[in-house]
Each structure stands twice: as structure tokens, then as C-alpha cells.
Structure 1
Amino acid sequence: MTDFEVAKAFLLKDQDGSNLFDHVADVLLKVISERPENALQVFEQLSASVKAGKLSGGVANEATQAQRELIMAHSKQLSKLYRDPEAPEAVEDDEGDEAKEAPEPEEPLPAPRADVLIDMDKEFAAWRAAGVHMAPQDSFKLQMSLARLAGADDSIQTLRLWGKLLGREGDYFVAEGTGGAAEEGDEDEEGVEPAEPEANKHTYWVCSYPGGPWTRLGSLRPEAVLCARQIKRFLTGNLDASVLGYPAFPGTERAYVRAIIALINEECAIAPKGYFAVSEDGDAVDVAEEFTMPAVADLLDASAWEAYGPAFSSLGRVRPVETEDAEGNTVSQPEGWELQWVRDALAEKWTARAYPRTLPDLKHAHAVLRSEAWPGAFAIASAASGAWSNVYVGYGFARADTLYTPPMPPALQKEYGGAQFKEQDDVIEDPTLGQDNNEEEDA
């Protein structure tokens, strides 16, 4: 056997279903077909890509292509945040050169509207005092996307970033506002408990990443609140996903996210006492005309704060249900329940600290309250700026003293006993012939 045959046999030695001879041949074929300018410098990268394609059966190239398409779609969405809505959109021709002008887009890009946005720079600074940090580029993208959202809907009156809900496959950035046009399919349906206007004073939108498109959540319904109180599930990040569990949730994850937001707001939407005042008719909350932010030392107690917004009864409603009994008297359910827009915050469910801890008397210090009922909820206030804020970042789970156990289904109905009923006895008549027949026989 010649030396060449020995060397070739060594190169053809099988190693996990492949060999060095075929690999080198494939790499050289790739170099000849692609003809890179710096073939010597990228030879190792070409070898690694050929090996990865063989090990995954060609799936690596497909995955790379899918990732490129995802990155391009993501970049195209973000580029809309910074483009002038009146300027024509530039496109690239087949050779990659930028064209002079592009035709008008099918849907005109709305102009940003910042007059309805709450001062987000102050809010982000206050959140950092609570340990909720956001990268500057992400906060800028969110601020720009919220301005675009307000520009697309003139009915929006106020708009702010509510927080973030974490999920298994994706997260939800939540925006809270007043106003906002209802989407198709948001009206009340037949046989469905109608939505209460008081429970839907605020409108909510969600997006999956900073700068992404916003999706408006529907109205909050009582049956969704009742079920959301009894179940505990990780969010998937898909608004159209089913909410599996017992009891069965009446809707998709879109309605479940809206119910979680309402339950968090019920206990964690708090403001310094005296900031809000109930209107004369008692049906709305207005900002007090004369309000002075207390000192930080005075805000380090939950008794100096008060919860605002509607609370939900055992029926999942904010107003009592009035019915009539058999005698025609009005009955209110639950008994004694009434709508309270402003109420005392539960001091035992909050822990307070000053930021910074070492200099609580600093001019720009913040009072930070952390919720023990809903981990991830914070309330922050500053006496220097006179501003306060609420934020939530978490999985949407309430704290429980014991491990969560799904409720058991109701007991099966018993088989019909029938002990109170008795079968009627059969009536057997005497088969003796009648009198007329006897007389005929005598004749």
C-alpha cells in the first residue's frame, strides 16, 4: 500500500458519521462557490459553518435566515419611531443602494403627541429609587412609542407607563391612560355580564418590547375578576392564548391580563393622603386644589397614604347589585357594600424606606413603599419635586402564606336513590266468568 493510500485511509477514518476528507472537500467547495475576497482569513469560519450545517442537518442555516427576518422586522418597527411622518420613506433597490423616494405608505405614520404624556423622565428617576431600573435606550423607545400611540388616537387624554408583566415566552409592557377609542368587538354581548363604567375608567395597552406596536385591552368584566382571584398562572406573552385551569377562565389571556391589572390596582394604587378629593356627588375622584407634599420622614408610614380607584366586592363588581325580594323590597348584594373611590391604605401590607438610606434628610430624597401583598409593586414620592408614582414589575402573583393549590372541582352528584317512591302493586282481577255467561251455560 502506497503512502498516498495510507494517508487517504487515515483521512477517511469515520468519526461520528463523518470524516476529515469529506469535510475538507465540502469546505473547499464552499470557498470555490462563494469566492470570498479574504478566503484565508475566513477559512476557519467557513469550516465551522459547514460543520454546523452537517451536525444540524441544515437546520442552522434555516435558523439563521429566520433570525435575520426577525431582526429585520424588529428594526423596521423601531425605525418608525424616529422617522418624520411627513417625509417620504426611503427604500433600497435590488443592488442595496438607497432609492431617492418611496411611494406613500398605505397607512400614514401618526405624528407623535407628547402633550398627554405624564413626565416620564421624573417617573423613571423615581423608579430607580425603588430599584426598578430601565436602560436609557429602552426608556426612550417607550417614550417615543407612547407619543406615537397618542398621535394615532386623538381621544386619548392622559397616558403613562404603568409597569411590566413578566411571562414565560414574552413580557407585557403596560400603558395606562384615560380615553381611547374602543376597538371592534369590545361592546357588550348578549348573555354576558356588562362592563361597569367605574371599573373601566382607565384604558390599558400592552406591547411585547420597547418600541413595539401597542394593543388595546378590552373592558374589564365582573366574571373575569372573580375567576382571576381563584387561579394563578404564568403569562405566556400571547394575548390570544387560552387560560387553562380550574375554574375555567371566561376568555383568553387578553382578558386575564386586564383582570390582573385591576386586582393589582385595587390594593397597590396609592397616593399621598390629601392628593385626591371625592367629587360632590361622590362618583369621581378629582385632584385637590391645595395640596402640599409632606416631608419624606412623614411619608415613611403607610398611614400617610391612601388607596384610590375602585375596589371589587365578592361579586367582582364595584357597585352593589340591587334586586327585589318576594315582597317587592329592594335588596342590595353584597349587603352594606358601597363604592369608595378613596380609602385608607392597609398599613400592614406595606414596608417603607428612604432613598438613599444613609441620607434620608437629603433634599432630593425619596420615600419608597414596597407592597407585601403584591411583590413587585412600589409607590415612590419626593418632597423636592412634589411628585409621586406607582409602578409594578412582576409575574402578576399575589403573595400567599401557603403553597398555591388549585381549587377542587365540585363533588359529583349522587345517583338517584328513589327511596321515597314505591312501585304500585299490580291489580289482579278474578278470572271467574260473569253471571250472564253462567246462565247461558245452564240453558
Structure 2
Amino acid sequence: MQSGRANEGQKYDNECEKLKLKDELERSKHYLQQICPSSGDSLSHHLNEVLTKILKERPKDAIASFEKYSRELRAQKFSNQNRHLRDLYEPPPAYDEAKRLVELFKISPPGHGDYHSISTCHEDEESLVEMRQNAPDLQKLFYYFQQVGVALPRDDIVYLGLSIRKLIAKEKIKNVRFWGKIIGNPRNYYIIEASLTDEELQRRLEEAEVGSRLSVTTRSCTNESQELAENVALEQALATSLLNEAREAESIATVDDKARLQLVYPPMPKNPWQPTPEVAPEKIGTGANAKVYFVCNRPGLDGWTELPPVTPAQIVVARQTVYMFSGTLGKQVHTYPPFPGCEKNYLRAQIARIEAATHCSPLGYFTFGRRGARGEKDNDEFEQEDEEDDDDEEDDGEEGERRKEGGDIVINRHYEQPALKDLIDPSMCNWCHHSPYLLKQGRTVWLEPGKTEDEVDNASQDEYEGEDESEEGMDDDNEEERRSSRISRKAKELGYEKEIGPPLLTSLSEDVAADGAIPWSARLSSSAQPDVAVALLRSNIWPGAYTFAADKCFGNVYIGWGTKREAYNYSPPAMPPVQDQYVPASDLEFQEETDPTPADEEAWRISQLPPERDDEEEECVDDDDDSNPDPYDD
């Protein structure tokens, strides 16, 4: 029994030793198979390769060759010396963008306190109402546009709304509206439209007036200096000519007849060309500069940049060129004809063109008002008009006169939206333009080139004061007609043709088709659910301009490349013709002569020979030679 138990114990110990040895062997093998970070290889694999190489090549001294083979194999292997794990953490680029976007959500409306304390503070409630009136509701706007397939990504909509509120709290603007998006390469433009506050508008007008006075003073001083220089040059030329005449009179008495022959040159021709007078831009707050525009490339990430006012010259040249935007405001625009400005000026000119051509609304939404800014609602005026029905009848009678005068427009409180079937009628008689028309001159109101609005107003006032007393008693309605007639008469005298565009609220049915394409297309968002459908109006002249109408409201937006439709491939304007040759002032200035014949040339040569001497003169010369012999003659 005891011997059996001893044998079993011995077997158990042997098994334990085997397991222990096996475990130690596995540990050693695992240790040899570990990858070294510096070399990227394990010792087991390296020894295996060295022994395989020794067995393959069979060197005479294997021990001496072991280290040599080891170094060669290690040198042949790739070893990365760079460390991918850095001690200093560098955040990804998206982290910085996220930090800037977080700042958008921290904005609060004008006033004190945050969003949680607005309901408890009366001042903050007023500021919130003011913010609601000035900031656009982009969620509602794109809710309707999404139903007709026109929209932006939801992230952009949220970032736009927050960044616009931040801009309103920073700048002195009101009635902010999302104008649209112009696609560029490589960056796009997001554009918003706003009106300046009364204080800011007055301040800018005063600055512009001071600048115009300085420019007028500088221009007058320049003209006076030029006139003075011309007078001095004329006096010097006159004195020089008189001195030359006196010298010629003295020299004529002493010179012979041949010296009197002098070449008389015709006077130098003078260039009568003068540059075309520039057309003055419209004042801030009027016409094409009635609104201000801010642009950015990435809402929420980039700041808003205000575009400069547009000039008529920029609009005229923009109509003759096609330019693809790059998203860089300061980039130079290389076109023919040369554009007077950089990309931000070209962008502003295209915005003015698109707005004048595509901003429309349902007929009756706007009406002509007696006062207030265009497109703004004057509640006091509407309340006074609602007190009596007779006031509405008077307004209907005065609307035609205000239309002729081009008065301001306000929202019609009694607006009733037409039926959807009428809004999508191809005749477009239920839609109208509510933006001023841009004339060929580049302005909304014609102005004599080379003059400013103040100069024209002062001249008109002087003419008005000089009229008969019988006309002074006429009402104010005829004053505008008399002023317009005086401007037209003055323009005809100077050779200009005054332009008059269509008035505000002109129906879209009067738009002319361009290159065989109808200007507008209309459709419903859904024909299966017409009771909740949205009417969409799309411009075919400016692809990307859309307008919707639903639930007694409407909206305009532009999402496109900022270029007008071209029926054919764009061809730049031709180069100007080659300048004509100089035309003589009279027939005596240049006289053509026929070429002489060989006989004429020979006769002229003979006439230039010295005259032949007579025989008597020759004999006298011989006698003189004999009487005075040469002493050196042998």
C-alpha cells in the first residue's frame, strides 16, 4: 500500500515538473516572440532567419559569420524612427470650428439678462419683440420653400439664423432678410439684406455730403489750375510767336532770296475727344442703394462683411460681362470691358440686377403709402385709415397718382390672397414687381451725366423760382410733373435721352420674353393636396430666383450662380474699331503731285548746273595767266 502510494506521489510530482517545464517553455517562447518597438521584429524570428541563412550559405566559420549575418538582416529590414504618439495633444480642425459655433448659441437679444430672465424683465420683453421684428424667421421661410424643392441644409439654416441675430445686436440695422446664396468656386456667398436705422442713415448721408463737397472743391481747384496753366501756356506761345516774327523780319532784310525759302508746316492737329461724363451714383437709402448687404462664406464660422454701394458704371459693365465668382471679395475682376472694381463690387452689381428683375409679390400685398420707408408697415397710418370707410376710397383714388410719382409702398393690411389657381396662371397677371426698375443708365431714376442730384435739384429750384406767379399757386402734384418736364427739356438740349422705367407694382404680365423664353414659370407644390399646397414662381431669365405664396405671406430667395440666362454661348463685346487716319483740315494742307518722268528729271538736273562762261571771258583769263608766269615752272 505504502509503495503504491509512493509511486502515485512520484508520478504526480513528475507530472507537475512536466507541466512546470512546459509552462516555462511557453513563457520563454512567448518572450522570444515579443516584437521590439525599435526594430519592429522579434528575437525568435531574427534567430530563425540568421540560422536559415547560415545553413543555406554554409560559411567556413559559422560563429564569426553569425554577427555579420545578423547585422545584414537587421539593416535590410525597415525601421520607423518616427513616433506616432505625441506628448502634446493637437486638436483636429473640426474642434476649432465647433468652438466658434458654440459662441452662436451664447448670444442674447439686445438688453440685459439671458433667455431665462427675459420673461421677468419688461425691458427684455421689448428687446425680444424688437428682435423678432428685425430678425427673419428662416425656419418658417424654408418650411414653405422645402415643400417646393428649394432649400438649404438644416445646419446652415440654424447657423444663419443665429449669426443674423448676432449681427443685428452688433450693427445698426433693421428689417433684416435672407437674400440668398450665390455659388462660387471654391467658396460660396451667403447674402443678407437689411435697412439702416434712421440715425445710422442720417450719419452716413452727412458723411457722404461732406465727401461730395470736398470732391467738388478739389475738382473746381483742379479745373482752375488747369485753366490757369492753359492761359500761361497760351501767353508764352503768343510771346514766342511775336519774338520769332520780329527776328524773321530782321533777318529777311539781310538774307538773299535763296535763304528766304523756308518750310511752312501746318498746325498740329488737336484731339477733340473728351471722356463721357460719369453718372453719379444714387444716395444711400434710395434707389439701387436703398438697402445694405452683408455677405459671408460660412455662416457661423466667418464674420459678415458689408458690401459697398453700387455705382451706375458698375451695373452697366456687369450687364456686358459674365464672371464666375470665386468667393474672395478682394479678387480682381479681369473682363472686357474693364470692370471698375473688384469682386465685391461685381457681386454688389449682380445683387442689384437680380433684385430689380426678380423680386415680386402677389398683386395687392403691397400698396402705395403716404409716408414710411418702402416695404415697411406704418401702423399709425393704417389705423387712421381704418376709422372711416371714406379714407379707403380716397386711397384708391390716390393710388394711381402715387404710382406715377413712384412713391413708397407699404404692406396692405386688407390684403386677401388670390386663389392658388390664379397664382399659377401662365398670364402672371396676379404677380407684380415691388423693386424699382434699373434703367440702362444704371440708376432707378434718370440723372443727367456729369451732374449730381443736388446740382440738378438746385437748378430746378432756380428755374421754378423764375417761373410766372400764376404757376406758383399750383398744387404739389403738378410740381413733380413740371420738374420732370424741365429735366426732359434740358436732357434734349444736351443731346441725352431721358429714360423712364415702369412704375412700382407693375404686373409681371408686362415682362417681355427674352430670346424666345418666357420670363416666368409657376406651379403648385402638390397637385394631390391643393388645399395645403404652396404656389411657386420661378424666374427663367435669372435661374435660381424663386418666390412662394401661401397663407397670406410670400418670400423671395435666390440660390444660383449669379449669372443671367444666355440663350447662346456668351460672346464678349467686340474690340473698338481701329482709329481713323488723320483727315486734313483743307485741300491746301496736303497737295498731291504726279511723279516726274525721266525727261523732267534730266531737265531739272541741267537747270541746276552752273552757267557756261563766254569766249571773251576765257581769253581774259588766258592773258592773265601769261602775264603772271609760275616761278616754279621749268
TM-score by length of 1: 0.71
Q: Which residue of 2 aligns with 1:391?
A: 557
Q: Which residue of 1 aligns with 2:363?
A: 273
Aligned counterparts of 2:107 and 2:507: Cα–Cα separation in 1:
47
The amino acid across from 1:148 in the alignment is K
1:166 corresponds to 2:221: no
SS of the equivalent of 1:25 reads: coil
The amino acid across from 2:186 in the alignment is E
Contact 2:137 2:161 in 1 (8 A): no
Contact 1:319 1:337 in 2 (8 A): yes
Q: Which residue of 2 aligns with 1:143?
A: 161
Q: 1:308 to 1:423 in 2, by over 3 A?
A: same
Contact 2:439 2:499 in 1 (8 A): no
Contact 1:179 1:203 in 2 (8 A): yes
- Residue 377 (structure 1) aligned to one of 510, 525, 545: 545
The amino acid across from 1:386 in the alignment is K
The amino acid across from 2:152 in the alignment is M
Structure with higher strand content: 1
The aligned length equals 360
The amino acid across from 1:194 in the alignment is A
Contact 2:281 2:443 in 1 (8 A): no
Q: Which residue of 2 aligns with 1:311?
A: 437
Q: Measure how far apart 1:128 and its partner are.
A: 0.9
Cα-to-partner distance string for 1:230-250 (whole Å, 9 max, x where unaligned): 111110101111111111111
Aligned counterparts of 2:339 and 2:441: Cα–Cα separation in 1:
15
SS of the equivalent of 2:327 reads: coil
Q: Which residue of 2 aligns with 1:293?
A: 417
Aligned counterparts of 1:313 and 1:170: Cα–Cα separation in 2:
31
Contact 2:136 2:161 in 1 (8 A): no
Q: Which residue of 2 aligns with 1:81?
A: 104
SS of the equivalent of 1:158 reads: strand
The amino acid across from 2:287 in the alignment is E
Q: 1:2 to 1:292 in 2, by over 3 A?
A: same
Aligned counterparts of 1:137 and 1:201: Cα–Cα separation in 2:
31
> What is the percent sequence identity of the aligned residues?
26
SS of the equivalent of 1:312 reads: coil
SS of the equivalent of 1:342 reads: coil
Q: 1:35 to 1:138 in 2, by over 3 A?
A: closer
The amino acid across from 1:75 in the alignment is A
Aligned counterparts of 2:281 and 2:344: Cα–Cα separation in 1:
15
Q: Is 364-373 or 334-343 further displaced after alignment?
A: 334-343
Which of these two proteins has the greater Rg computed from alpha carbons? Answer: 2
Contact 1:114 1:147 in 2 (8 A): no
SS of the equivalent of 1:80 reads: helix
Cα-to-partner distance string for 1:29-70 (whole Å, 9 max, x where unaligned): 526x7489xxxxxxxxxxxxxxxxxxxxxxxxxxx98x94x6
Q: Which residue of 1 aligns with 2:346?
A: 256
Aligned counterparts of 2:175 and 2:320: Cα–Cα separation in 1:
32
Q: Which residue of 1 aligns with 2:569?
A: 403
Aligned counterparts of 2:544 and 2:107: Cα–Cα separation in 1:
37
Q: Which residue of 2 aligns with 1:356?
A: 526
- Residue 208 (structure 1) aligned to one of 294, 297, 300: 297
Cα-to-partner distance string for 1:161-215 (whole Å, 9 max, x where unaligned): 1110011121111101122547999946648743312221122111111223111
Any stretches of 5+ residues in structure 1 without a counterpart?
A: 14-20, 37-63, 89-109, 426-430, 432-443
1:344 corresponds to 2:514: no
Contact 1:231 1:406 in 2 (8 A): yes
Aligned counterparts of 1:318 and 1:184: Cα–Cα separation in 2:
20
Q: Measure how far apart 1:268 and its partner are.
A: 0.8
Contact 1:117 1:159 in 2 (8 A): yes
Q: 1:11 to 1:315 in 2, by over 3 A?
A: farther
1:331 corresponds to 2:491: yes
SS of the equivalent of 1:248 reads: coil
Aligned counterparts of 1:6 and 1:422: Cα–Cα separation in 2:
102
Contact 1:217 1:258 in 2 (8 A): yes
Q: 1:25 to 1:202 in 2, by over 3 A?
A: closer
Q: Which residue of 2 aligns with 1:54?
A: none
- Residue 195 (structure 1) aligned to one of 274, 281, 284: 281
Contact 1:276 1:288 in 2 (8 A): yes
Q: Which residue of 1 aligns with 2:83?
A: 30
Cα-to-partner distance string for 1:75-124 (whole Å, 9 max, x where unaligned): 34322211256799xxxxxxxxxxxxxxxxxxxxx999333123322211
Aligned counterparts of 1:153 and 1:285: Cα–Cα separation in 2:
25
Aligned counterparts of 1:370 and 1:147: Cα–Cα separation in 2:
29
Q: 1:404 to 1:11 in 2, by over 3 A?
A: farther
Give RMSD over aligned pairs: 3.8
TM-score by length of 2: 0.51
Aligned counterparts of 1:194 and 1:80: Cα–Cα separation in 2:
42
The amino acid across from 1:275 in the alignment is Y
1:125 corresponds to 2:150: no
Contact 1:198 1:318 in 2 (8 A): yes
Q: Measure how far apart 1:9 and its partner are.
A: 6.0
Q: Measure how far apart 1:283 and its partner are.
A: 2.5
Q: 1:237 to 1:388 in 2, by over 3 A?
A: same
SS of the equivalent of 1:173 reads: strand
Q: Which residue of 2 aligns with 1:57?
A: none
Contact 1:319 1:339 in 2 (8 A): no
SS of the equivalent of 1:147 reads: helix
Q: Is 219-228 or 203-212 further displaced after alignment?
A: 203-212
Q: Is 209-218 or 343-352 further displaced after alignment?
A: 343-352
SS of the equivalent of 1:303 reads: coil
Contact 2:279 2:448 in 1 (8 A): no
Q: Measure how far apart 1:423 and its partner are.
A: 6.9
Aligned counterparts of 1:365 and 1:278: Cα–Cα separation in 2:
29
Aligned counterparts of 1:260 and 1:8: Cα–Cα separation in 2:
72
Cα-to-partner distance string for 1:117-144 (whole Å, 9 max, x where unaligned): 2332221112112322222222111111
Q: Which residue of 1 aligns with 2:406?
A: 282
SS of the equivalent of 2:169 reads: helix
The amino acid across from 1:124 in the alignment is F
Q: Is 196-205 or 142-151 further displaced after alignment?
A: 196-205
- Residue 217 (structure 1) aligned to one of 307, 311, 314: 307
Cα-to-partner distance string for 1:241-287 (whole Å, 9 max, x where unaligned): 11111111111111111111111112210100111223445331222
Aligned counterparts of 1:7 and 1:311: Cα–Cα separation in 2:
88
1:236 corresponds to 2:326: yes
Aligned counterparts of 2:70 and 2:323: Cα–Cα separation in 1:
62
Contact 1:113 1:148 in 2 (8 A): no
Q: Measure how far apart 1:297 and its partner are.
A: 1.1
Q: Which residue of 2 aligns with 1:437?
A: none
- Residue 179 (structure 1) aligned to one of 189, 192, 196: 196
Any stretches of 5+ residues in structure 2 without a counterpart?
A: 1-52, 56-65, 115-126, 220-277, 370-401, 450-455, 457-487, 513-517, 594-609, 611-634
Aligned counterparts of 2:80 and 2:181: Cα–Cα separation in 1:
52
